[in-house]
Structure 1
Amino acid sequence: MHDLPAIADYVLWQRGMFPKLLISGGATAGQAEPEAEVIAARLVEKGMPAEALLLERAATNTGENVIFARRLAEHALGKDSIESLLVIGKVCSMRRYLMTLERHWPQPRRFACAVNYFGVARERWHEHEEFRRRVLAEFTKIPAYLEQGFLRELDLDAD
């Protein structure tokens, strides 16, 4: 969970870009507290108004993050009111996040903010042991997830 404070801090920097923030994440990797609660607590501690937050606390993987978050957002905000999404997440997993959205929630316009908490530039990922490990793990996940129908390939030529 070392990356969660970095993500929360990045959200604060982006604060003026959105009226509501939906945070998705359940208890994973042996953690007792849902990721959404950890991020929300840091945001509130740093001055984010609690009423601006929507928390999805059950998701245990990226597919569930999107499916459960979509359900919560449509219920809380109205299905037709969601025109765009700003996805904030780990730099090493951003392509998979966007591919998951393409599969399970393709309608809103999507923007991505990749948080890099590794202390080395994104293009130098291969020089940092943990960054390299996480990027290479994505190379094994994405083809398997595509084959299973969890993801949809991105059209990089689209607007």
Structure 2
Amino acid sequence: MAVSLPDDLRADVQTLWDYHDLRHELRPADVGIGLGSHDLGVATYAAELFHAGMFPLVVFSGANAPTTVERFPRGEAVHYREHALELGVPDDAILVEPGARNTGENIAFARRLLESREVGSVVLISQPYQQRRAYATCKNLWPEVEVICASRPLPLDDYVESIGDVDRVITMLVGDTQRITIYAERGFAVQQEVPREVTHAYERLVHLGFTGRLI
């Protein structure tokens, strides 16, 4: 049975979705970093970009979170690696960072893993709604590196169907929108503009109860 967005929520969810998509132009980089999450599509897209020659090395970073422990019991990065191997990425082109439990640790631990290599540019592969937060976090923790953000190029409806859970997608979008401001205030990320229409869409969805990922 197809999973789809309710019509009365579509405009606000689309507003948040579009805000978090940075629309970076893909170009070759020194390394790809796949950020751990509940979405195996991150590893799928990392493998596609590797085969397209976008980077010669991929780092998968992630331990577990409450939202991923059942799906990836051995850890997000470990399962990502196994999936990438199945998709033809050579084992010697993959590094695993299995300890990170949030985006800041994804960046910091991956940077530490790569410190013996010359890295001037990275492609951060994440869920679509994580792009903006990942970018802001990386620019804060690793300011000298060029950052290109990438996600599976899926329209919102296709992404919702691929995840199979409307509430989960909306809740994660709402949570990431809140973090853009809060993490900058706490010094975890660089500041970014939040347009008024994004704030209003966020507030309406919070009012409707999509609060499970709020801090």
Q: What's the TM-score once normalised by structure 1's chain length?
A: 0.81
Aligned length: 145
Report the counterpart of residue 82 of structure 1 in structure 2. 119
Q: Structure 2 matches for 1:107-126, cutoff 5 A?
A: 107-115=144-152, 120=157
Distance, in Å, in 2 between the alignment partners of 1:47 and 1:152 is 36
| Alignment match, 1:8 | 43
SS of equivalent residue, structure 2 residue 114? helix
Separation in 2, partners of 1:118, 1:24: 25
Give the structure 1 partner of residue 106 of structure 2: 65
Shift of the alpha carbon at 1:120?
1.5
Given that 2:77 and 2:97 are in contact with CA atoms closer than 8 Å, whether structure 1 keeps it comes out as yes
- Counterparts of 2:142 and 2:91, CA distance in 1: 26
The code of the aligned residue for 2:188 comes to F
Q: Which residue does 1:144 correspond to in 2?
A: 182
- Find the structure with the greater CA-based Rg: 2
Greater helix share, structure number: 1
Q: Deviations over 1:98-123 (max 9, x none)?
A: 0000100111111111236686168x
**1:94 aligned counterpart, secondary structure:** helix
Mapped contact 2:62–2:76 kept (Cα < 8 A): yes
Question: Which structure is richer in relative contact order (CA contacts within 8 A, separation 6 or more)?
Answer: 2
Alignment partner of 1:134 is 2:175: no
Identity of aligned residues (%): 30
What letter matches 2:45 in structure 1? Y
Q: Which runs of 5+ in 1 are unaligned?
A: 123-127
Unaligned runs of 5+ in 2: 1-36, 160-165, 194-215
* TM-score of the superposed pair, with normalisation by structure 2: 0.61
